[in-house]
Chains A and B, each alone.
Chain A
Amino acid sequence: MKILVTVKRVIDFNVKIRIKPDGSGVETANVKMSMNPFDEIAVEEAVRLKEKNIATETVVVSFGAAQVQDTLRTALAMGIDRAIHVPVDTEIQSLGVAQALKKIIEKEKPDLVIMGKQAIDGDSSQAGPLLAAMLGWGQGTFASKVEVAGGSVKVTREVDGGLETVELKLPAVVTTDLRLNEPRYASLPNIMKAKKKPIETMTVEQLGVNPAPRQVTLKVTEPPKRKGGIKVPDVATLVDKLRNEAKVIP
């Protein structure tokens, strides 16, 4: 079977973000960028399915400026076979991504699409279900286990009450949660090998989609700052404060 995964280049999860003084967005210039952590998990899962000989081919797709080719190279170094880059210089939102992916998928015909459950910049957690809906495929969101067997895939999902397992007919879309796997680091020889793997470019015009944002960000502001409080010397003082000052315990 063939697996398609998607990756997004985002501000590294360890970076403390800065909001632009004019409130138009978050500063991304001169900031460390990395692959969205959930997408790393998606890449790892696809590579493992190939190593287990369940997948025969793996393809990675990313949208964005020229620099996303670095992120695609990382995916190739982790073991993905080939990459597709859709150059977009402006912001591209989940709906535009899903519409463009649908076109790519109609051409590539994968049996399984694996995506991150959310990107840690926009945190909107919708591209996977949007895409699954447009394709008319089943969806297994927030996956912590993926088992492919025959014409279906069993997905264990992290839900509010614990875990739930569903079985989806293939083709299907899966979105990854944190505990699906631990992504590998690419080894130096694999990084060298990845330089020779192909990255194909497909423009939005070729795909026939209009990626213009449907949601306008009017402004971006700081969240209300929480003032740090005090240090208490011992448990007795803590209990006293909680009872008589904060009045949160009887």
Chain B
Amino acid sequence: MPTLLIAEHDHKSLKPATLNAVTAAAKLGQPITILVAGHNADAAAKAAASVAGVAEVLHADDAAYVHFLAENMAALIAKLAPNYTHVMAPATSNGKNYLPRAAGLCGCAQVSDIISVESADTFTRPIYAGNAIATVQSKAKIKFITVRGTAFDAAAATGGSAAVKKIDGAGDSGLSKFVGEELSKSERPELTAARIVVSGGRALGSGEVFKKLLEPLADKLNAAIGASRAAVDAGYVPNDYQVGQTGKVVAPDLYIAIGISGAIQHLAGMKDSKVIVAINKDADAPIFQLADYGLIGDLFQIVPELTEKLGK
């Protein structure tokens, strides 16, 4: 029986996390069906059909899915789930919202945030902010699984030619209503998909300074900007910048931590980066214990100098 994978998309295109989840699904060695639930989402369904390794695309087009409300999404997923052995979704804020609800509707527990597929029922996943890795075996009749994107390479976005099948939605639950959103606008690469991430901590002192110091550096490197919880709590940057156990998990080629101490909750979100640079005035800051290159000193001098030297 096939695997059902719930696509993360914006109606026009697939989000990169979907491609990582396809790779995880492929490890099960069974046909992959992608569900695109959206509104006027033909383009996203077409994009899903061209992903390498995808056997079929189900496309439910309904206004109930414009904002991916958990109640509506889960009702549809739960209706389809009995035809599959595995139901997967990227561990994004959407996936983490509707997939466990769909699991609950089917009376199953979810295996959250997997980082490897060991067999059809056995997976590994980080626990305790990534300070331990658990190998878990699921006894659920349908395996609901969210996938940590950084643990799997992205599948090729092209090369596939799956058929797109239109299906009916499951309607509007009437339990919830979208009121509004306040999305951060940025021309920069998406934090979880960027090749380079520049992150700032409490030491930046204010939103103004955060911007003044880190944006030119990120511009030079074509980097995404991240932050510690302390920087977000203090209001320097919006919540979606937070990297860590309870924020986003990133694993770029280069992560530059600036004025961040390296609390375990922060490390949980970035320690799988290929190369880590730490800039901190405290030689004993825990971040230095895992940084490939540490520079001890005052960030207010170092960062402008670094930005300038990178230009050459």
Cβ of A138 within 8 Å of any chain B Cβ, yes or no, is yes
Number of A-B contacts (CB under 8 A): 253
Complex contacts, A126 vs chain B, CB 8 Å: 100, 103, 109-110, 112
- CB pair A13 B265 closer than 8 Å: yes
Residues of A within 8 A of B271 (CB): 226
* Contact between A166 and B274, CB atoms less than 8 A apart: no
Q: Take A236-B309, A239-B309, A249-B221 as given contacts and tell me if A158 and B139 are in contact as well, using a CB distance cutoff of 8 Å.
A: no
14 A-B pairs within 8 Å (CB atoms) are namely A120-B128, A129-B70, A129-B103, A130-B104, A132-B101, A133-B105, A164-B178, A165-B179, A179-B233, A214-B138, A215-B138, A229-B294, A235-B309, A249-B254
Q: Mark B118-134, 1 if CB is under 8 A from A, else 0.
A: 00001001111111111
A202 CB within 8 Å of chain B: no
Q: Known: A137-B175, A232-B294. Is A164-B67 also a contact (CB below 8 A)?
A: yes
- CB-contact partner of A133 in B102, B122, B229, B248, under 8 A: B102
The reply on B293 being an interface residue by CB < 8 A is: yes
**Provided the pairs A160-B248, A162-B184, A214-B138 are in contact, do residues A238 and B264 lie with their beta carbons within 8 angstroms?**
no
**Contact across chains for B112 and A163 when beta carbons are under 8 A apart:** no
Encoded as 1 (CB less than 8 Å from any B CB) or 0, chain A from 217 to 250 comes to 1111111001011111011101101100010110
Q: Which 10 A-B pairs have the closest CB atoms?
A: A133-B104, A229-B292, A126-B100, A138-B175, A130-B104, A95-B109, A129-B100, A129-B101, A124-B112, A165-B179
Q: Does the CB pair A164–B113 fall under 8 Å?
A: no
CA distance A178 to B229 in the complex (A): 9
A139-B71, A217-B136, A248-B253 known, 5 other contacts, Cβ within 8 Å: A123-B129, A126-B110, A214-B108, A231-B288, A249-B196
Given contacts A160-B240, A161-B240, A178-B233, contact A130 B181 (CB under 8 A): no
Q: How many residues of A contact B (CB 8 A)?
A: 78
Q: Which residues of B contact A137 (CB under 8 A)?
A: 175
A238 near B292 with CB under 8 A, answer no
A249 to chain B, nearest CB (A): 7
Q: Any chain B CB within 8 A of the CB of A34?
A: no
Contacts of A139 in B (CB 8 A): 70-71, 97, 101, 176
Residue ranges of A at the interface with B (Cβ–Cβ < 8 Å): 11, 13, 16-17, 19, 26, 93-95, 98, 117-118, 120-126, 128-134, 136-142, 144, 154, 157-169, 172, 177-179, 214-223, 226, 228-232, 234-236, 238-239, 241-242, 246, 248-249
Closest to A38 in B: B246
Residues of A near B98 (CB, < 8 A) are 129
Contact status A217-B109, CB under 8 Å:
no
When chains A and B are docked, how far (Å) is the Cα of A98 from the Cα of B113?
Answer: 19
Q: A229-B291, A239-B306 are in contact. Are A214 and B139 (CB under 8 A)?
A: yes
> Is there contact, CB below 8 Å, between A123 and B306?
no
B179-A223 in contact (CB<8A): no
B310 near A162 (CB under 8 angstroms)? no
Give which listed residue, B93, B134, B291, contacts A160 with CB less than 8 A.
Answer: B93
Main SS class of interface, B:
mixed
CB distance from B244 to the nearest CB of A (A): 10
On whether the beta carbons of A26 and B180 are closer than 8 Å, the reply is: no
**What sequence of 0s and 1s flags, for each residue 227-262 of chain B, a beta carbon within 8 Å of any chain A beta carbon?**
001001100001110000110100001100000000
In the complex, chain B residues whose CB is within 8 Å of the CB of A13: 265
**CA of A50 to CA of B246, assembled, Å:** 28
Do A154 and B179 have beta carbons less than 8 Å apart? yes
Q: Which residues of A contact B253 (CB under 8 A)?
A: 248
> Given that A158-B239, A160-B93, A229-B291 are known contacts, is A26 also in contact with B128, CB under 8 Å in the complex?
yes
Q: Among B100, B109, B113, B293, which residue has its beta carbon within 8 angstroms of that of A241? A: B293
In the complex, chain B residues whose CB is within 8 Å of the CB of A216: 136-137, 139
A214 to B104, CA, bound (A): 13
Would you call B94 and A160 a contact (CB within 8 A)? yes
**A161 and B183 contacting across the interface, CB-CB below 8 Å:** yes
How far, in Å, is A214 (CB) from chain B's closest CB? Answer: 5
